[in-house]
Structure 1
Amino acid sequence: MEKWGEKPYRSLDFHLREQFGEKIYKLSLNGGMTCPNRDGTLGSGGCIFCSAGGSGDFAADRTLSIREQIESQKKALQDKKPAKRYIAYFQAYTNTYAPVNYLERIFTEAITHPDIAALSIGTRPDCLGADVMELLGRLNQIKPVWVELGLQTVHADTARLIRRGYELSCFDTAVTQLRQLHIDVIVHTILGLPGEGNEQVMETISYLNKAEIQGIKLHLLHILKGTELAGLYESGGCPVMSMEEYVDLIILCLEHLSPKITIHRLTGDGPKDLLLAPLWSSKKRTVLNTIHQELKLRNTWQGRLYLPESI
């Protein structure tokens, strides 16, 4: 069994202390971008689960400059989560979906801030052109750059249902190119997507074990008001998991994940004013505590059932 401090998995906190030698928190920033799934390029409604905030519901005020956003987010964290350095996390919508000269300006403004230790950029693999890759490579020479890719699932039928808008091969190409630049890749997955059970989720986990990724976010599917998914849920076409089912599935994922992959997230908490289901997910601390308790009770850990020779 690997040693990751207090938790039986390679947590983000452990990874950050290992890489930077201190406690570091993320500051969620808003670059003022949209998404090809929203501006008419691929569609106009976004992915069926996406709220109006485009995954950036907790990001800073987009009307502020990047420096001002950093300072406002630091101030908001200072009382309960004091730290000396932070990660600048461009979270809202697709954060490489803009002219490269604009991206260079806002990313440079963030990465050169003296309190910023690394830059993390949430985006889509189909929004990483050669000019963007070249920029990210240069920025990675200043401070570490992470790219977070919204994959959600490896299954083509589910990807079409949720309107992801790109093929799995596009994701593979993006990972290869980012790793050639020595940029860390974090992959977003969603557990509980319509039509997917444990078998399909584990196929996604198995696929990602073979990919050269450094981190993963395991998201719970949230049903949010105003989304197309909400209509599907209300018509009975999208059942949601109980907390017990979700905890079991998370543990199954952890047991089969490579112990080298950092776990950036084990659940999520959608905006309470938008959340339709599952309502238990709003108690994020309870969910995490239950996962940790069950891991201890079952005497299990990340990678316990990982078999690299079978991959």
Structure 2
Amino acid sequence: MDDKPYADFGVFLKKYFRGKVQKISINAGFTCPNRDGTKGKGGCTYCNNQTFSPEYCNTDKSITEQLQEGIGFFGRKYPDMEYLAYFQAYTNTYGDLRSLQGKYEEALSVHGVVGLIIGTRPDCMSDRLLSYLSELSKKYFVLVEYGIESTCDETLRRINRGHTFSDSADAVMRTANAGVLAGAHMILGLPGEDREMIISHAERLSQLPLSTLKLHQLQLIRNTRMAYEQVENPEEFHLFDVDEYIDLVIDFIEHLRPDITVERFVSQSPDDLLIAPKWGLKNHEFTARLLKRMLQRNSRQGKMYVPSVL
């Protein structure tokens, strides 16, 4: 864990790269089976994809153009930096194999790009694609991030995810067995989930062969179904204040397997889209407060972790 009381993403990357590495988000023009009618329509109740797309990240530009623009920005300060193409917007394994290969290989052809991070759903990873990614991972860094969001099927139905936790567990295990790094996204504080249930997520995730984990607080975003649901039934939602959420995150990672890299604790949505909670903290400011609180509590990742069978 280096000098931090949790498994840090920067330390994780040092296992694979000698120098500085930067992710560059791209929008490769994917859609989602939960939007186009294959799984459902309207998408997840909390989702507005505008919340995680940088200005340079739009489909008017090619994958190459988006990456070159990002590299131009970061390269001014760090000319020797290497880059990971982050396929972030929507479901980035949703398409025919040839089309997917073309997108990934276009990204890898850009000078300075040394690997891929692919965000997707756990029900959108075919065996054929996984076999291709397995071969690709022998030459490049490849990490597949799955939107798991909750380990409770009732919650997944409520937020209209269109998959089960069993789908998530299966995808993560198949990915790891193929020799490809697997990551997970989780939202803490979804409606209907109390502290005990949230802690149980950490325990269940710990039984999966995950390499990385991203956490973020429940946020109400404009023009989402969840925002309207909260207005109609506010008693069903609990929006954490920052100190309360910090203690929840600490409780969560104390129950998390100590070798799972925690890449992120919070998400920052654009001010013009975010309804609540509005903490006014940047990610590094939140992390500094988290570390201070962990020191006060004599806390560390995995402190309460007990290996068990899923």
Q: CA deviation at 1:120?
A: 0.6
Contact 1:54 1:92 in 2 (8 A): no
Measured on the aligned residues, the alpha-carbon RMSD in Å equals 1.9
1:229 equivalenced with 2:231 (yes/no): no
Q: Which residue of 2 aligns with 1:287?
A: 286
Contact 1:209 1:258 in 2 (8 A): yes
**Within 5 A, what are the aligned runs for 1:26-45?**
26-45=23-42
1:273 equivalenced with 2:272 (yes/no): yes
Of 192, 200, 203, the residue aligned with 1:203 is 200
Q: Which amino acid aligns with 1:178?
A: T
Q: Which residue of 2 aligns with 1:8?
A: 5
Q: CA deviation at 1:292?
A: 1.3
**Within 5 A, what are the aligned runs for 1:131-146?**
131-146=128-143
2:206 aligned counterpart, secondary structure: helix
Of 164, 172, 175, the residue aligned with 2:169 is 172
Gaps of 5+ in 1: none
Change (3 A) 1:41 1:56: farther
Q: Which residue of 1 aligns with 2:306?
A: 307
CA distance in 1 between partners of 2:308 and 2:168 (Å): 24
Contact 2:27 2:87 in 1 (8 A): yes
Q: Which residue of 2 aligns with 1:90?
A: 87
CA distance in 2 between partners of 1:287 and 1:7 (Å): 15
Q: CA deviation at 1:291?
A: 0.5
Q: Percent identity?
A: 35
1:75 equivalenced with 2:111 (yes/no): no
Q: Which residue of 2 aligns with 1:18?
A: 15
Contact 1:13 1:23 in 2 (8 A): no
Change (3 A) 1:40 1:310: closer
Q: Which amino acid aligns with 1:258?
A: R
Change (3 A) 1:290 1:80: farther
1:280 aligned counterpart, secondary structure: coil
Contact 1:59 1:91 in 2 (8 A): no
Change (3 A) 1:10 1:99: same
Map Cα deviations across residues 33-74 of structure 1 (whole Å, 9 max, x no partner): 010111111222110000043744667122222221111112
Instruction: Name the stretch that deviates more: 104-113 or 301-310.
Output: 301-310
Q: Which residue of 1 aligns with 2:44?
A: 47
TM-score by length of structure 2 reads 0.93
1:88 aligned counterpart, secondary structure: strand
Map Cα deviations across residues 98-144 of structure 1 (whole Å, 9 max, x no partner): 12111100101112434122211000111112222222122212202
Q: CA deviation at 1:11?
A: 0.8
Q: CA deviation at 1:204?
A: 1.0
CA distance in 2 between partners of 1:181 and 1:263 (Å): 22
Contact 1:51 1:227 in 2 (8 A): yes
Q: Which amino acid aligns with 1:71?
A: Q
Q: Which residue of 2 aligns with 1:217?
A: 214
Q: Which residue of 2 aligns with 1:104?
A: 101
1:19 aligned counterpart, secondary structure: coil
Contact 2:22 2:81 in 1 (8 A): no
Contact 1:120 1:147 in 2 (8 A): yes
Gaps of 5+ in 2: none
Instruction: Name the stretch that deviates more: 15-24 or 119-128.
Output: 15-24
Q: Which amino acid aligns with 1:127?
A: C
Q: Which amino acid aligns with 2:176?
A: R
CA distance in 1 between partners of 2:192 and 2:308 (Å): 30
Map Cα deviations across residues 163-197 of structure 1 (whole Å, 9 max, x no partner): 11012221122122211210010011000100111
